[in-house]
Amino acid sequence: MSTGNISLDILLDELKDSVLAGNSSDDNVRAIKKRFQSVTDKEAKDIYALVAGAIKIAPKENASLVLTAPAGFSFKAKATKNTVESLLEGATKSILITGYSLSDYFKDMVDLIINKSQKGVFVKFYVNHIESQGTFDKLCRYKGRFLKIYNYPKAEDAMAALHAKVISVDGEKTLITSANLSYHGQQGNIEMGTVIDSKAIAKQVDDVFTQLVFKKVFVEV
């Protein structure tokens, strides 16, 4: 969170670190008085109590590294393939997913997505140049109330594309990655991303794509 003022941001970060570490309030009160020299001791304590209370009730956001790496390499990170499967299999309310490149390797997950939509999970699939991706034919046959497909059509700029790789489920967990929905993206390449457990981030992602549909950047198939 930023206040728009560097010195205030520094103070806020110091207060946050101190509160989360369980440190004494005395140093923090002195820091507040140093920054706001006209406040009384009581006012500084009140400011600290207000900030500390807000920090303690702020929703927790967790992020983990997600990685595709060559076979035989061992890293303390979640595997992209396992993360994608876990997110889609665990979805109970909604799935937002983008497809820059969708290969036959992903066909089992396509079946899973279709099955989820038939059980009432609301799926929004954003596709890059669907006319050039035959792997979407099966998904298109099942589009309906709970399975919406949106195409990013070819623009005047032939190089322009939907290049974002995102999966967001249940308005809570979001994977943002460099990996395509293909064999090399999930297992063969070196790819990196992060999975974020945050309702705020999930909402922001959904809002972005909703705006893009509203502005007709994406067209429903």
pTM, two decimal places: 0.71
Q: Are 124 and 95 in contact (CB under 8 A)?
A: yes
Whether 44 is covered by a domain: the verdict is: yes
- Average the pLDDT over 176-196 and give the result: 85
Q: Are 149 and 174 in contact (CB under 8 A)?
A: no
- Average the pLDDT over 162-182 and give the result: 91
Q: Are residues 145 and 199 in the same domain?
A: yes
- Per-residue pLDDT, 159: 57
Q: Are residues 47 and 97 in the same domain?
A: no
Q: Does 41 have pLDDT greater than 70?
A: yes
What is the chain's mean pLDDT, rounded? Answer: 85
What residues make up the domain containing 150? 62-220
Q: Are residues 86 and 190 in the same domain?
A: yes
Q: Are residues 95 and 131 in the same domain?
A: yes
Q: Are residues 39 and 78 in the same domain?
A: no
Whether 1 is covered by a domain: the verdict is: no
- Per-residue pLDDT, 28: 84
Sheet with 173-177: strands ordered across: 78-79, 62-68, 191-197, 173-177, 165-169, 94-99, 122-128, 147-152, 219-220
As a whole number of angstroms, the distance between CA 116 and CA 110 comes to: 10
- Per-residue pLDDT, 37: 86
Q: Are residues 46 and 123 in the same domain?
A: no
